Amino acid sequence: MSSTSRKKHVVVIGGGILGASTAVHLARGGAQVTLVTSGSLANGASGRSIAWLNSSGARSAEYHYLRLLAIDRYRTWSVHHPESREYIQFNGAMKWAAPGKTFRDTYAFERSRGYESVWVERADVAAVAPDVNAEVVAEEGAIFNPGEGWVNMPDFIPVLVAEAVAKGAKVIQNAGDARVDVQEGVAVGVTLASGTRLSADEVVLATGGDVPAQLAALGVTVQDRTPAAFVVFTDPVDIEVKTVLNTPRVAVRPTPDGRLVLDSDWAEQTVVVEDDGSFTVPQESVQGLLEEASKVLAGNPLLTAQHVGAGLKPIPGDGLPVVGSIPGIPGLYTVFSHSGATLGLILGELLAEEILTGTPSPVLESFRPARFGSDNAAPEVVGTGAWEAVMR
């Protein structure tokens, strides 16, 4: 960050990874920062994410590059913060195709981009990932990505926010429904649910799946396909699980305290959104995820649910990040993305730099909110098949 940047007061709305990352990078750059969150830190999508750190599959060159930068930032963080190795791990990830499908093209694409991708025959799975039940791996084999990993956001986000506070940031938790205050077409602050108004030079909207509706209230369209979703947190398991798994029926990753986090596209589709906006998760879907996870783990351990986290899973309409200034409303920025866990550090860094310097980042050029304007068709999402739905 430029040491000559004018000191600004920036209010960041959102206590997930994107809001926390933006806040700490702004504070590092010398801004006066206020972080506002409706509840407690990490109580939204960030707190119920598989949080798989990856750039797997077929992606545009621009998006792949952004994700590689993102993973690099986590590696740098873990080197300079050895204690973070409890909640940031790079022990690799494995995925395989559903019956009747193949991941050979995915493997070839990853290799063509220079991404570290290893084809593992079924007979060799135990040597690469001993926590995986090789019997349920696709007959053709699986892809192992040695450089991928995971982050546990409920541990990581408070660390980022603590650094921001140490650098002078203020944090307002349990603020309820905070709204951007726009006067004469300019974002001039934030109004809390209590009616308290916070003035600001700039405002960052980082409220996950609520971003499209909040922008729509200001007359700004961002295409949206945010679904209701849920994850299951298991009780502690007896086996040591290190590998992130993205299988046709379940995604699995470990937590620092020996539990597992589970989700899947099929289970997500069973969530019921009630009239009052609450979420109901069928018990049979929870049990189904537990059973599917048991099948893919070595020894088929008995898994039980400790708790279920349900809510909105942020996904922009074209699947790509939405980050930067809002056209037509000076002073307002947003950061809205699927894969928020992977992208959290880099998007916060690049957005903060734009705010502090006034210079747009070329890295973010393909991900601007302006692409959803009436004259700009949204780019087609590039995906790799059924497992894409569980990526974080």
Q: Considering 253, 285, 316, which residue would you say is the last residue of a domain?
A: 316
Q: What pLDDT tens digit does each residue of the chain (392 aa) get?
A: 444 445 899 999 999 999 999 999 999 999 999 999 999 999 999 999 999 999 999 899 999 999 999 999 999 999 999 999 999 999 999 999 999 999 999 999 999 999 999 999 999 999 999 999 999 999 999 999 999 999 999 999 999 999 999 999 999 999 999 999 999 999 999 999 999 999 999 999 999 999 999 999 999 999 999 999 999 999 999 999 999 999 999 999 999 999 999 999 999 999 999 999 999 999 999 999 999 999 999 999 999 999 999 999 999 999 999 999 999 999 999 999 999 999 999 999 999 999 999 999 999 999 999 999 744 333 343 333 333 333 34
User: How many independent structural domains does the chain possess?
Assistant: 2
In terms of domains, do 259 and 348 share one? Answer: no
In terms of domains, do 304 and 246 share one? Answer: yes
Report the pLDDT value the prediction gives residue 1, as an integer from 0 to 100: 47
Report the pLDDT value the prediction gives residue 380, as an integer from 0 to 100: 40
The CATH number covering residue 42 comes to: 3.50.50.60
In terms of domains, do 66 and 132 share one? Answer: no
In terms of domains, do 381 and 237 share one? Answer: no
In terms of domains, do 277 and 372 share one? Answer: no
Q: Cα separation of 29 and 2, whole Å?
A: 7
Q: Considering 316, 335, 368, which residue would you say is the last residue of a domain?
A: 316
In terms of domains, do 261 and 378 share one? Answer: no
In terms of domains, do 217 and 233 share one? Answer: no
In terms of domains, do 25 and 157 share one? Answer: yes
In terms of domains, do 302 and 350 share one? Answer: no
In terms of domains, do 167 and 124 share one? Answer: no
Domain that holds residue 81: 1-89+149-223+317-392
The string of DSSP letters for 224-265 reads B-PPEEEEEEEPP-SS---SEEE-SS-EEEE-TTS-EEEE-H
In terms of domains, do 335 and 351 share one? Answer: yes
Q: Cα separation of 348 and 335, whole Å?
A: 8
Q: Cα separation of 265 and 98, whole Å?
A: 13
For the beta sheet containing 228-234, the strands, ordered from the edge strand earlier in sequence to the opposite edge, are: 118-120, 142-145, 93-95, 244-246, 251-254, 260-263, 228-234, 305-312
Report the pLDDT value the prediction gives residue 161, as an integer from 0 to 100: 98
Report the pLDDT value the prediction gives residue 6, as an integer from 0 to 100: 54
Report the pLDDT value the prediction gives residue 381, as an integer from 0 to 100: 38
Q: Considering 292, 316, 340, which residue would you say is the last residue of a domain?
A: 316
Report the pLDDT value the prediction gives residue 62, as an integer from 0 to 100: 96
The CATH number covering residue 285 comes to: 3.30.9.10
Q: Cα separation of 354 and 5, whole Å?
A: 11
In terms of domains, do 296 and 196 share one? Answer: no
